[in-house]
Amino acid sequence: MALQLGDTVPNFTQASSEGEINFYDWAGDSWVVLFSHPADYTPVCTTELGTVASLQSEFQKRNVKTIALSVDDVESHKGWIGDINETQNTTVNYPILADGDRTVADLYGMIHPNSLNNLTVRSVFIIDPNKKLRLTITYPASTGRNFDEILRVIDSLQLTDYHQVATPANWQDGDDCVVVPSIPTEEAKQKFPKGVTEIKPYLRMTPQPNK
């Protein structure tokens, strides 16, 4: 059965470009972005892994670890990392899982036979420190992922885990937030001293509470 939001993600032990990884031990108390790609030495994937490398400081300040995956082997990964570093002007400093036996791909539902036969599709999983699945997105092979959007979602999740707000369409960190419907307006005005704007009884906005 496919993983669903809120599920505890399965643990695994698998080879990687940085040695054998036990996923739970490696993740520790961090958030994790796990993302799969169809194959090494492919053009779109090269730009994606380079982009994630260049964004490491952004992930780190959010307590996020990144880890990639394909069904190619460790030696292939290591050779390809050299190309990524050269062509994308960066340094890949996170592991790439070598899932040749498809252990992780099967656990996480990364094989979509009607799309890419036995190759892993372009999936993204955001996993919180409790090992709960918080987001999953699957992109077609021809479309590179938007990692600014992944960071935006992480900002939203980390905000809304601690404050009784939700984030509206196209929200960016620092923008106004939606007061969750479960809080009556008068209570919301006490809870959010920066102010509550009632547009409709069910649509109340407030400045981002942690800014």
Instruction: List the CATH number of the domain containing 172.
Output: 3.30.1020.10
Residue 81 shares a structural domain with residue 123: yes
SS3 state of residue 197: strand
The residues, any chain, with a CB within 8 Å of residue 94's CB and separated by 6 or more, are 18, 52, 53, 56, 65, 66, 67, 68
Q: What is the pLDDT of residue 117?
A: 58
Question: Is 151 among the domain residues?
Answer: no
CB count in 10 Å sphere of residue 205: 17
Interval 189-202 mean pLDDT: 95
Residue 107 shares a structural domain with residue 190: no
> Tokens at residue 41, please?
């030495």
Q: What are phi and psi of 207, to 5 degrees?
A: -60, 150
Residue 112 shares a structural domain with residue 195: no
Question: Is 116 among the domain residues?
Answer: yes
Question: How does pLDDT run across 39-81, given as a tens digit for each residue?
Answer: 899 999 999 999 999 999 999 999 999 999 988 999 999 999 9
Quote the DSSP letter at residue 162: T
Question: Is 154 among the domain residues?
Answer: no
Asked if 45 is an active-site residue, the reply is yes
Is the distance from CB of 120 to CB of 110 less than 8 angstroms? Answer: yes
In this prediction the pTM is 0.93
- The terminus-to-terminus CA distance of the chain in angstroms comes to 40
Is the distance from CB of 31 to CB of 128 less than 8 angstroms? Answer: yes
Residue 120 shares a structural domain with residue 190: no
Question: How does pLDDT run across 72-111, given as a tens digit for each residue?
Answer: 999 999 999 999 999 999 999 999 999 988 899 889 988 7
> Burial code of 137-147, b = ≥16 C-beta within 10 A, e = fewer?
eebebeeebeb
Q: Which of 21, 27, 33, 45 is an active site residue?
A: 45
C-alpha torsion angle, residues 39, 25, 150, 61 (rounded to 10): -130
Residue 42 shares a structural domain with residue 113: yes
Residue that terminates a domain, selected from 145, 172, 192:
145
Question: Is 157 among the domain residues?
Answer: no
SS3 state of residue 159: helix
Total of domains in the chain: 2
Question: How does pLDDT run across 122-174, given as a tens digit for each residue?
Answer: 899 999 999 999 999 998 878 899 999 999 999 999 999 999 999 999 999 99
Q: What is the pLDDT of residue 142?
A: 83
Question: Is 43 among the domain residues?
Answer: yes
Interval 23-28 mean pLDDT: 98
Q: Which domain holds residue 42?
A: 7-145
CATH of the domain at 81: 3.40.30.10
Q: What is the pLDDT of residue 57?
A: 97
